[in-house]
């Protein structure tokens, strides 16, 4: 990760929680408009009870981020890239430069790098101040632990974060630390295979006429930007079908793809974010932020790609017959 120091915590959300404790009353956070549901939920609560203003903007637009930066009040700019689940890409280099220019005293860029893992993207090398992960996902890799990781570029932040981890008691337990270290040993092999499988699945879906969101596809509008920061498209993609009922039929019709809100493990998973991981975001807010109700998210594992595609094809065939265009 290129960090000066890193902390292992009891979950991905506890990792975010200790980062958010860097923000004081009357300071501000700039965050994306396409966020993990748990992140959105925590930011909403923070804005309601702690007197902290949260700006949700389209982080693919550097000018939109700059427009809400306040040299006195902005404390954190919180990015996901690619975003979960719409697979939008933020220019970490350009946004980091803007924050340093506009908020030189206290502005920090924080990147949730869970979707890529350090194998594919190193946010600190791109200018971010803090990179964090839900280590439950790729870093652990087997869905048998919950963990988080916070990595810090500047040694000046480490004492404050270490104090919170120690005071709150959210450090990772010994056996979970063992499981996490075990997962990290195979991280490169797993991610490489998962990405190769994801590329095959994305290409197959696109060939069948679906609108696929995967950052290394030639059809992705930010492909060049993404590949200037990352070593590939990763293992998570999403697509729309034009019908919520059709999407539900696809999700329920697969046999090898497990229905789950998580991602990053060795087995392949399928979900409908609006009805699962992002259901806590009000429907009106989802609509305003452009999150399609029929969106299907695939988290591709290490299985034989032919088996995965055959199983997905069968579910697609059945759903298309039941809900013709």
In the chain the first and final C-alpha atoms are separated, in Å, by 46
pLDDT in tens, 65-103: 999 999 999 999 999 999 999 999 999 999 999 999 999
- Alpha-carbon distance of 78 to 32, in angstroms, equals 7
Q: What band does 155 get if pLDDT is binned at 50, 70 and 90?
A: confident
Q: How much is the pLDDT for 285?
A: 84
* 86-90, 131-135, 216-220, 279-283: the lowest-pLDDT one: 279-283
Q: How much is the pLDDT for 2?
A: 87
37, 278 contact by CB (below 8 A):
yes
Q: How much is the pLDDT for 286?
A: 87
Which helix (H) or strand (E) segment holds residue 54: the answer is: strand 53-57
Pairing status of strand 269-271 against strand 296-299: antiparallel
Q: What is the mean pLDDT of residues 152-176?
A: 95
Residue 268 is classified by DSSP as -
198-228 burial: b if 16+ Cβ within 10 Å, else e:
bbebbebbbeeebebbbbbbeebebbebbee
- Give 259's Cβ-side CA count (13 Å radius): 12
Residues in the chain: 325
Q: Within a 10 A sphere around the Cβ of 112, how many other Cβ atoms? A: 27
Q: What is the mean pLDDT of residues 250-258?
A: 97
Q: Within a 10 A sphere around the Cβ of 48, how many other Cβ atoms? A: 10
3 state SS of 98: helix
12, 132 contact by CB (below 8 A):
yes
pTM of the model: 0.95
* 16-30, 215-229, 254-268, 282-296: the lowest-pLDDT one: 282-296
174, 27 contact by CB (below 8 A):
no
Q: Is the pLDDT of residue 59 over 90?
A: yes
Q: Is the pLDDT of residue 1 over 90?
A: no
Q: How much is the pLDDT for 268?
A: 98
- Per DSSP, helices labelled H in the chain are 12-20, 37-49, 62-68, 92-102, 117-120, 158-168, 174-185, 187-207, 223-229, 244-253, 283-288, 305-322
Structure tokens at 150: 């916070």
- Alpha-carbon distance of 57 to 70, in angstroms, equals 14
Q: Which residues pair with 154 in a beta bridge?
A: none
Which helix (H) or strand (E) segment holds residue 297: the answer is: strand 296-299
180, 19 contact by CB (below 8 A):
no
Q: Is the pLDDT of residue 256 over 90?
A: yes
Q: How much is the pLDDT for 160?
A: 93
* 30-44, 118-132, 204-218: the lowest-pLDDT one: 30-44
Q: Is the pLDDT of residue 274 over 90?
A: no
Q: How much is the pLDDT for 278?
A: 81
């Amino acid at each position: 990760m290129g960090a000066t120091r890193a902390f292992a915590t009891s979950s991905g959300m506890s990792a975010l929680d200790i980062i958010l404790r860097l923000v004081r009353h009357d300071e501000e956070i700039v965050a994306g408009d396409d966020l993990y549901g748990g992140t959105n939920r925590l930011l909403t609560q923070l804005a309601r009870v702690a007197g902290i203003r949260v700006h949700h903007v389209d982080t693919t637009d550097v000018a939109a981020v700059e427009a809400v930066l306040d040299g006195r009040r902005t404390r954190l700019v919180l990015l996901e890239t690619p975003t979960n689940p719409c697979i939008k890409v933020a220019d970490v280099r350009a946004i980091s430069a803007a924050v340093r220019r506009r908020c030189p005293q206290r502005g920090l860029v924080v990147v949730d790098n869970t979707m890529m893992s350090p194998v594919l993207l190193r946010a600190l090398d791109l200018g971010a101040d803090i990179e964090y992960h839900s280590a439950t996902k790729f870093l652990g890799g087997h869905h048998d632990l919950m963990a988080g990781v916070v990595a810090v570029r500047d040694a000046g932040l480490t004492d404050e974060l270490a104090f919170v981890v120690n005071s709150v008691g959210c450090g990772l337990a010994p056996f979970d630390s063992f499981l996490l270290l075990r997962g990290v040993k195979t991280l490169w092999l797993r991610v490489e295979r998962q990405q190769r499988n994801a590329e095959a699945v994305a290409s197959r879906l696109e060939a069948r006429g679906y609108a696929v969101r995967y950052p290394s596809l030639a059809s992705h509008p930010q492909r060049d930007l993404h590949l200037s920061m990352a070593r590939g498209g990763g293992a998570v993609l999403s697509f729309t079908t034009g019908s919520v009922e059709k999407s539900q039929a696809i999700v329920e019709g697969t046999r090898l793809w497990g229905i789950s809100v998580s991602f990053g493990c060795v087995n392949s998973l399928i979900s409908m974010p609006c009805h699962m991981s992002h259901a806590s975001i009000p429907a009106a807010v989802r609509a305003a932020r452009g999150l399609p109700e029929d969106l299907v998210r695939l988290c591709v594992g290490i299985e034989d790609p032919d088996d995965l595609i055959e199983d997905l094809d069968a579910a697609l065939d059945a759903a298309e017959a039941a809900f013709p265009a």
